[in-house]
Amino acid sequence: MPESAKDDDLVGSVVAWWARHAPELPAQTIEFTKRVARMHALTDRVTVAVLTGFSLSRAEYDVLGTLLTADRPGLRPSELSSRLLLTTGGLSNVLRSLERRGLAALTSDSADRRGRRVALTPEGADVAGRVVREVVAAQHALLSTACEADVRVGTAALAAVLAPLESRAAGR
């Protein structure tokens, strides 16, 4: 790593501090989780900038994107909650907001009369498609400053680390 990159490595300096002051803590765990959090913060910054132009919150965007990419039209609120790691109460507020704006609709579940399904309206599908494209373009512009091969390797490594975590979260 070039010396100037080391000087700008905020996570590295935090990890070094912990290594000096609490050497019994697993430095690799600290570094990995801090780097993932830092990556999220940097990508979230450009994401939120795009969402502001659409008057969408991060949670609304996540719901729209999940509904857009679902393998079937309409998901149960519990499926959305599970996929997005949102509480049912938090999801209810987001769904009410999207419904008020005409972007999503709650309907009865034809397979379970007591259940409900959430689906995008035609306007919601249009907005979701446009906002996802703009968010991805902004994130791509941010990542374009990194080496493409490093991004590819990092993506594969994160997928490998995430797989057992997802299984554990699903109780498998």
Q: Is the pLDDT of residue 2 over 50?
A: no
Examine the pLDDT at 90 and tell me if it is beyond 90. Answer: no
Structural domains of the chain, ranges and CATH numbers in brackets: 1-53 (no CATH), 55-172 (1.10.10.10)
User: Which of these, 37, 110, 130, lies nearest to 119 by C-alpha position?
Assistant: 110
Residue 6's pLDDT is: 53
Structure tokens at 35: 């780097």
152-167, pLDDT tens digit by residue? 999 999 999 999 998 8
CA distances from 87 to 21, 94, 108 (A): 36, 11, 21
- The chain-wide mean pLDDT, for the chain, equals 90
φ, ψ of residue 169 to 5 degrees: the values are -65, -35
pLDDT in tens, 53-69: 999 999 999 999 999 99
